Amino acid sequence: MGAAGLVLFLLLALPDPGTVQGKVVENFDECSWFFQNKIPPQGFDTQNRVKICQRYKNHYHFVTLYRPDLRIPVYSAYRYPCTIGVEKKFRSNPWFYEPQIDDRKASAEMTSSKDRSSDNQAVDADYKDSGYDRGHLYPFSFNENDSATATCTLTNAVPQKHEANVNWNKQVESIVLKLALICHKSGRSMYVVTGSANSTGSKLKNKVTVPEVAWTALCCTSPPGRINDPCLNNNVWSEEQSATTYDKDFSCAFKKKMEPEEDAVILTVRALQRNLSMIKIFDSCRGTNQDDEAENFEEVKTLIATVTSAENGGGSIRGWSWGFAVLCCLLSKTWSMCV
């Protein structure tokens, strides 16, 4: 990382010093490799939002668009695999917060939120005894070392009832992780954007908004190049090689009503975009155009059916994927690599 990367990264354009109300003009250039084609989602309101290149132990680990007025993130954007840093991962307790949201001259790194107070973001005390979990957007379990620890910042969390948080993990995160393993096995990288939407009207300690919905969108594709892409240049992590083989780009999305809780639904990225009233989550990904949306979606649903049934020992590949399975077995000459 160059010297430029080591200096101030969280740039807030403030009409008055000391307030984060106002126009955030800076872009995510310092940490753009977390976005597919290095382009942030298009169509989210960026007025009165704070852009954070999430920094911990001298490295950027993911990106967040934050809403100081609600004290929750709009989304976090991250990659799989992307383990940066060498210290063993731990769940920070208390969680971190982002000092620069309150004071641009403060530390550029996430910092413990213990005994802090803020008018612009959630701190440890807001969640304490609130009856709500700190629901990760970028999940702790997706990566190792410092990148995992860095997810434990309240700028990456929304209040979730414990049961809904557990079910979000079961119904969405665990499937996204399986898809990420398949994606990485084909030599690609998975770009993920996870966010929250729609206020329930409740607030923790009359401060932190409880959202109604959580959503996630993923795009498996080849990154534009290795240069300046720390996710491709760090330690390669040894995954079990049992993942299903699928040698194509793909995309899909999930959405779950968190409060009151409903089961998660899978949808296309375009359908999610429409639902969130935004333009584009990924710059360009298979399945995000009208002409390849349906085909991609059918294949992804089959892939998900395969990985979720493979959980109970031995996958079942049916329908369209039969030809693909045969082909990949001929190529790999190993039946067991396909399921």
Ligand X SMILES: *[C@@H]1O[C@H](CO)[C@@H](O)[C@H](O)[C@H]1NC(C)=O
Contacts of 202 (CB under 8 A, 6+ apart): 209, 210, 259
Angle between helices 290-310 and 174-185 (to 10 degrees): 110
Nearer to ligand X, 169 or 275 (CB): 275
| Among positions 1, 4, 8, 86, the unique one binding ligand X when judged by CB under 6 A | 86
Decide if 258 contacts 168 (C-beta within 8 A): yes
The CB-side HSE value for 87 (13 A sphere, CA atoms) comes to 12
Binding flag, residue 171, ligand X (CB under 6 A): no
Interacting positions 197-226 with ligand X (CB under 6 A): 197-198, 213
- Provide, rounded to whole angstroms, the least separation between the CB of residue 283 and ligand X: 21
Interface region with ligand X, contact rule CB under 6 A, candidates 41-49, 90-98, 274-282, 286-294: 274-282
Tokens representing residue 74 in the block: 């709009």
Nearer to ligand X, 274 or 318 (CB): 274
Residues 225-264 as x/- pattern, contact with ligand X by CB under 6 A: ---------xx-x---------------------------
**DSSP category for residue 23:** B
Tokens of 295: 């085909």
Closest CA to 76 of 142, 174, 22: 142
Size of the site for ligand X (CB under 6 A): 13
Interaction residues for ligand X, span 55-84 (CB under 6 A): 83
SS percent in the chain: helix, strand, coil, step 5? 30, 25, 45
Report the 10 Å Cβ neighbour count for 12.
18
Chain residues 145-164 in contact with ligand X, contact rule CB under 6 A:
145
Query: Interface with ligand X by CB under 6 A: which range of 4-12, 111-119, 120-128, 270-278?
Result: 270-278
> Per CB under 6 A, does 320 bind ligand X?
no
CB of 94 closer than 8 Å to CB of 78: no
The answer to whether residue 276 forms part of the interface with ligand X (CB under 6 A) is yes
269 part of the interface to ligand X, by CB under 6 A? no
The neighbouring-strand residues paired with 51 are 65
Q: How many CB atoms lie within 10 A of CB 288?
A: 23
144 scored as a contact of ligand X (CB under 6 A): yes
In angstroms, give the least distance from the CB of 273 to ligand X.
10
Contact footprint for ligand X (CB under 6 A): 83, 86, 144-145, 197-198, 213, 234-235, 237, 274-276
